[in-house]
């Protein structure tokens, strides 16, 4: 049962195409788990189709159709993709939704230990505004308390974690705004893997400042 | 008798089944001026760019037509999605990001399934959505227009209209409620709201 979902304006931004790469990925990941939001996104696409065809049309040049036809004629039939399937060999990757697996690099994920029970593996998506990463909290482990300088989106992929406000299950979509402080911890019986999107580095509150996990990698 | 919308669906299916150029020409004549109107509103797009993007979109329509199914999406929604993705990839190229690494189709997970996971009866909902859109209060319709047509984020709409972001968000939510879209229950979002 999915408890937490993207807000309606975020879904509209998603459907209308204004989200950056990493936030867009976080919503698509949530949709892998959430039928309700998938249905909404489908309807939001219908709004796009309707707005498209009720707009004030702008005539195109006379020769545009011929140009399109000329390109079709020179279009090489695309071979069914022979490209080698990217394969992430990390042991956890098989447990993740296929959509997420496709984002992962070849070979092993680059896990970096941030605290005794928390690891992070950055995922490169070719943009600089946001950092995309997988986070992994050991069973029963606690992440250091931290607050956020920018927005953070978390989608639970496997296992579950809790913080002061509740328990989060696979598919749950959480947004933390700048200034929120929380201390997540994983369920006792299972490690928890999350996909996270960070708008800006977060800083640890309290004395563990030097361990600030999310300053330890920069987007590439 | 088939409605106009069903005819466009049929045209795409004919292109997909038998590479019917007549059907493709009808689609082109009908949709390309709307596509140009849509694409020209994207930031940084000149009229010439807009035509290039129309061309790119229509070529994708031709190429992807075999995977189109009218039971999954209406013609206008399907073409809108292709145009939106074309615009996303184009804008990323302008920002010197590399869309080849992950293009919009990958980001929306549309590689194998070109239309989103389908469950609703599209043709029926299309008529309903069209009626509901036309009945929205002007200020809600305006926000949707800016978001869909100009590809603006909620924050950008807030800047454009000189409104607080919260007002833009609530207009979106009101519009969605009015259109009775199955969005997440409000109760689940309380925490996020409270932290703004």
What residue in A sits closest to B85 (Cα-Cα)?
Answer: A17
Whether A26 is in a domain gets the answer: yes
Domain count across chain A: 1
Name the minimum distance, in Å, from the CA of B139 to any CA of chain A.
15
Residue A137 inside a domain? The answer is: yes
Range of lowest pLDDT (A178-192, B120-134, B160-174): B120-134
- pLDDT tens per residue across span A29-63: 999 999 889 888 988 998 999 999 988 999 999 99
In a domain, A138, yes or no: yes
Residue A202 counted as domain residue: yes
Is B96 or A15 the better-scoring residue by pLDDT?
A15
**Mean local confidence (pLDDT), A59-72:** 94
pLDDT reading at B193 higher than 70? no
- Say which residue, A163 or B126, is predicted with more confidence: A163
- Which residues of chain B make contact with A48, given a CB cutoff of 8 A? 77, 80-81, 84, 148
Q: List, for residues A84-112, the tens digit of each pLDDT value.
A: 666 788 888 888 999 999 899 888 899 99
- Sequence spans of domains, chain B: 1-120, 136-184
Q: What pLDDT digit, counting tens, does each position of A180-219 carry?
A: 777 888 888 889 999 999 986 555 554 443 444 444 443 4
Architecture of domain B136-184: Orthogonal Bundle (1.10)
Average pLDDT rounded to a whole number, residues A164-171: 90
Cross-chain Cβ contact A65/B28 below 8 Å:
yes
ipTM: 0.86
For the B1-120 domain, the top CATH level (class) is mainly alpha
Structural domain of A31: 1-53+91-220
- Which of chain B's residues have a Cβ under 8 Å away from the Cβ of A45? 73, 77, 80-81, 116
Average pLDDT over residues B19-27: 96
pLDDT per residue as tens digits for the range B33-50: 999 999 998 777 888 899
pLDDT tier at A81, thresholds 50, 70, 90: low
Asked if the structure places residue A113 within a domain, the reply is yes
Query: Domain of A136: which CATH number?
Result: 2.60.120.10
- Give one DSSP letter per residue of chain A, joined into a string: -------HHHHHHHHHT-S-HHHHHHHHHHHHH-HHHHHHHHHHHHHHHHHHHTS---PPPTTHHHHHHHHHHHPPPPPPP-SPPP-B--TTGGGS-HHHHHHSPSBS---EEEETTEEEEEE--S-SS-EEEEEEE-TT-BPPPEE-SS-EEEEEEES-EEETTEEE-TT-EEEE-TT-EE--EE-TTS-EEEEEEESS--EE-GGGGGG-GGGS----
Task: Give me the pLDDT at residue A108, please.
Answer: 86
């Amino acid at each position: 049962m999915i408890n937490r979902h993207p807000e309606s304006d975020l879904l509209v931004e998603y459907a209308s195409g204004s989200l950056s790469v990493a936030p867009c990925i976080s919503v698509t990941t949530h949709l892998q788990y959430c039928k309700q939001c998938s249905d909404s996104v489908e309807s939001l696409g219908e709004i796009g189709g309707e707005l498209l065809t009720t707009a004030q049309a702008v005539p195109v040049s006379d020769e545009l159709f011929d140009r399109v036809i000329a390109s079709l004629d020179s279009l090489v039939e695309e071979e069914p993709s022979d490209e080698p399937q990217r394969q992430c060999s990390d042991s956890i990757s098989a447990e993740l939704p296929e959509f997420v697996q496709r984002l992962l690099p070849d070979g092993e994920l680059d896990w970096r230990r941030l605290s005794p029970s928390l690891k992070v593996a950055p995922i490169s998506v070719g943009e600089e505004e946001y950092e995309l990463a997988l986070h992994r909290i050991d069973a029963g482990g606690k992440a250091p308390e931290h607050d956020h300088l920018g927005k953070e989106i978390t989608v639970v992929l496997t296992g579950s974690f809790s913080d002061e406000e509740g328990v989060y299950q696979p598919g749950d979509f959480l947004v933390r705004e700048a200034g929120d402080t929380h201390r997540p911890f994983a369920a006792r019986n299972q490690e928890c893997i999350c996909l996270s999107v960070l708008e800006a580095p977060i800083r640890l509150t309290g004395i563990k400042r030097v361990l600030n996990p999310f300053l330890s990698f920069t987007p590439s | 008798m088939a409605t106009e919308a069903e005819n466009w669906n049929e045209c795409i299916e004919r292109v997909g089944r038998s590479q019917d150029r007549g059907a493709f020409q009808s689609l082109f004549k009908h949709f390309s001026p709307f596509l140009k109107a849509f694409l020209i509103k994207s930031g940084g797009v000149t009229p010439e760019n807009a035509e290039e993007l129309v061309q790119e979109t229509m070529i994708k329509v031709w190429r992807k037509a075999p995977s189109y199914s009218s039971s999954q999406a209406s013609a206008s929604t399907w073409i809108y999605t292709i145009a939106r993705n074309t615009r996303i990839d184009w804008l990323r190229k302008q920002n010197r990001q590399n869309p080849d690494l992950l293009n919009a189709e990958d980001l929306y997970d549309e590689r194998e399934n070109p239309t989103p996971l389908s469950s609703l009866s599209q043709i029926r909902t299309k008529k309903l959505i069209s009626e509901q859109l036309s009945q929205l209060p002007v200020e809600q319709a305006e926000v949707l227009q800016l978001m869909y047509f100009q590809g603006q984020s909620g924050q950008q709409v807030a800047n454009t209209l000189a409104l607080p972001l919260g007002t833009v968000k609530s207009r979106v939510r009101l519009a969605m409620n009015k259109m009775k879209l199955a969005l997440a229950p409000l109760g689940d979002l309380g925490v996020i709201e409270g932290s703004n």
